[in-house]
Amino acid sequence: MELKWLEDFAALAETGSFSRAAELRHVTQPALSRRVRQLENWLGTTLVSRASLPAELTREGLRFLPQARDMIRQLYGAREAFRGDAAAKLVRFAALHTLAVAFFPNWMAALSLDAPPIRAAILPDRGGIEANLSALVEGEADFFLTYAHRYVSLRLEEGKFEFLKVSSDEAIPVTARELVVDGTKWVGEGLLDAALTRPIAVPYATYGDDSFFGQVLRRLFDVSPPFQRVTVHQNAIAHGLKAVVLAGGGLCWLPRSLIRTELATGALVPASRDARWNLDIDIRLYRHMDEGGGDVGRLWDRARRNANTGAPDAPSPAATPPPGRQESVGEQPADKK
């Protein structure tokens, strides 16, 4: 059983509406509905009558509601009671996994070059972007470090949160030098361009729909020329997908900052010559607007100064519309061996 199930149920009881409760909890309606169902399955009873509008609690739901609210209060009270002085001085970050591993260490070091270091902790990754965002919304994290793109909207209450753009990156479609497609060995470079004009099923390594890149790519595919792809691997973590692609496992969009060495050595190659398949990505730092004191405020000020001095960003082309259908040039299968 998870605390967020109890909080979702309490929000639903308060609003009488799945959609309004989802807004309050900063999740999608299907996600909230699924978590309420998980709570019901865990308890072994039905808490909400879904046949009525507005949603009404069943007899069991009315009986359980005060217990749920009491458990929520007790759990948060216990957390505060066991947070010692040392833990309270830690600046807590929620972060997407790739940023926590590939960006955060060097970024924090840069913020401490000319100033005393600030003690920080990365919270365990909760999974998708909405799950990690909830750590900030619920006060478990002081900051949320995330990718951002116009295709993905964050569910944050207006006027309560602010963000800094602290850097940028670029997600590009890449493959190994060679890979097997439909039983034939192909040169990886330009494979995506070839797939736009030829009936080949490209093996595709995906992030999954709940992840940030999964959501961005779904929108990109909706507005771009179609190509046939077959999902061969799914992993919400970019490092895992990188390993799959390096082994010849398929096509994947990966952050350029994560694959600079592999691109330089040729271990990975661009799958398209059309830069409009590339995705310009911001890296943002979010916080509560009323959390400005102590180390939290000092870190925010340092991050703002660092961003304003022009910390180096990943190279990216100017924004352009989605790629149009066009002739591919020179893509050929590799010689069979």
Quote the radius of gyration of the chain (alpha carbons, Å). Answer: 23
Please tell me the distance from the alpha carbon of residue 237 to that of residue 97, in angstroms, as a whole number: 7
Amino acid at 260: R
pLDDT of residue 172: 98
3-state secondary structure of 182: coil
Please tell me the distance from the alpha carbon of residue 254 to that of residue 75, in angstroms, as a whole number: 39
Query: Per residue in 124-152, is it b (16+ CB within 10 Å) or e — as a string?
Result: ebbebbbebbbbbbeeebbbbbbbbbeeb
Please answer whether residues 331 and 191 qualify as being in contact, where contact means their C-beta atoms are separated by less than 8 angstroms. yes
Please answer whether residues 204 and 175 qualify as being in contact, where contact means their C-beta atoms are separated by less than 8 angstroms. no
Q: What is the mean pLDDT of each run of 10 residues along the chain (337 residues)?
A: 90 89 86 93 92 85 92 81 61 92 92 85 83 86 94 83 95 96 90 93 90 93 94 92 95 96 97 95 92 84 82 39 40 41
pLDDT of residue 128: 75
pLDDT of residue 311: 45
Beta-carbon count within 10 A of 109 CB: 10
Q: In which residue are the tokens 């949160």 written?
A: 161
Please answer whether residues 248 and 293 qualify as being in contact, where contact means their C-beta atoms are separated by less than 8 angstroms. no
Please tell me the distance from the alpha carbon of residue 109 to that of residue 113, in angstroms, as a whole number: 6
pLDDT of residue 80: 67
| C-alpha distances out from residue 317 to 43, 169, 190, 239, Å | 53, 11, 18, 24
Structural domains of the chain, ranges and CATH numbers in brackets: 3-82 (1.10.10.10), 85-337 (3.40.190.290)
pLDDT of residue 50: 84
Question: Strand 202-206 and strand 229-234: pairing?
Answer: parallel
3-state secondary structure of 16: coil
Please answer whether residues 250 and 228 qualify as being in contact, where contact means their C-beta atoms are separated by less than 8 angstroms. no
Please answer whether residues 173 and 201 qualify as being in contact, where contact means their C-beta atoms are separated by less than 8 angstroms. no
pLDDT of residue 88: 56
Name the strand (E) or helix (H) holding 306.
Answer: helix 294-308
pTM of the model: 0.69
Close Cβ partners of 217 (under 8 Å, ≥ 6 residues apart): 206, 207, 253, 279
